[in-house]
């Protein structure tokens, strides 16, 4: 499932956000690639968590998801409802986090904390009639809980990782409900978890229109 329409109405913490398209040609961000190394060589199976940054940083604060994310919706029909979670612009389902038989009325659902890390997510509630309004969640999680969370990706047998830049939303701008604008910057923080321990944090910049490759050395 790929979200292409940035004109959707987006619910994020206390704000209603709408995509804001620029008239100018956007920069092109290439894949975020790298390798995790320790004194013995490449590290296989290292969990890669990321953290986005937003400018200006006094306009928007992402939603803390240390205890998961709770939201409510109104149903005008009864039957089976399904909640699906995706990473932003991902082609694959991250989790079917909710399935229930519901009557009409207001319902409250929680996305479990272990499914959420830092970053940008898309979730939907699929109704019996097939309607599935998409909503965005800009998530923030405490470093101490990352070892209990689903990572963005893991390193392969060569210690390498690859992240689709579209999932990081670099350079995209959004408006809050009070028409304040913020932009997803091209700064990024890597948080590396090995054997359930956060072993490395490194902040980088991912410039547009050029290749990048980050070598992350573990202590």
In a domain, residue 166? The reply is: yes
pLDDT of residue 42: 98
Give the domain extent around 212.
9-217
Contacts of residue 205, defined as CB under 8 A and 6 or more positions apart, other chains included, come to 186, 187, 188
In a domain, residue 2? The reply is no
Please say whether the beta carbons of 69 and 110 come within 8 A. Answer: yes
Vertex 117: Cα angle to 139 and 173 (nearest 5): 35
- Assess if residue 15 is contained within a domain: yes
Maximum Cα–Cα distance across the chain: 59
Paired sense of beta strands 197-205 and 181-194, if any = antiparallel
Whether residue 39 is contained in a domain is answered as yes
CATH number of domain containing 111: 2.60.40.1930
The pLDDT averaged over each successive group of 10 residues in the chain (219 residues) is 35 40 72 97 98 90 96 91 96 95 94 97 91 88 97 98 96 83 95 98 96 96
Number of domains in the chain: 1
- 3 lies in a domain? no
- 4 in a structural domain: no
What predicted TM-score, i.e. pTM, was given to this entire model? 0.85
The answer to whether position 1 is within a domain reads no
147 in a domain, yes or no?
yes
Write down the pLDDT at residue 43: 98
């Amino acid at each position: 499932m790929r979200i292409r329409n940035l004109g959707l109405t987006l619910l994020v913490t206390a704000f209603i956000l709408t995509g804001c398209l620029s008239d100018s040609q956007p920069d092109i961000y290439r894949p975020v690639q790298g390798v995790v190394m320790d004194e013995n060589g490449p590290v296989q199976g290292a969990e890669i968590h990321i953290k986005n940054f937003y400018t200006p940083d006094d306009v928007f604060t992402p939603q803390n998801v240390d205890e998961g994310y709770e939201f409510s919706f109104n149903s005008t029909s009864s039957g089976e409802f399904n909640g699906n979670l995706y990473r932003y612009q991902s082609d694959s389902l991250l989790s079917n986090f909710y399935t229930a038989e519901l009557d009409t009325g207001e319902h409250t659902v929680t996305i479990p904390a272990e499914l959420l890390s830092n970053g940008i997510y898309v979730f939907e509630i699929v109704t019996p009639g097939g309607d599935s309004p998409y909503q965005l969640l800009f998530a923030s999680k405490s470093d101490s809980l990352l070892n209990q969370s689903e990572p963005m990706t893991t390193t392969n047998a060569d210690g390498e990782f690859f992240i689709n830049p579209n999932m990081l939303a670099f350079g995209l701008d959004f408006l809050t409900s009070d028409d304040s604008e913020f932009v997803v910057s091209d700064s990024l923080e890597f948080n590396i978890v090995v054997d359930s321990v956060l072993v490395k944090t490194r902040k980088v910049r991912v410039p547009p229109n050029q290749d990048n490759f980050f070598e992350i050395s573990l202590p």
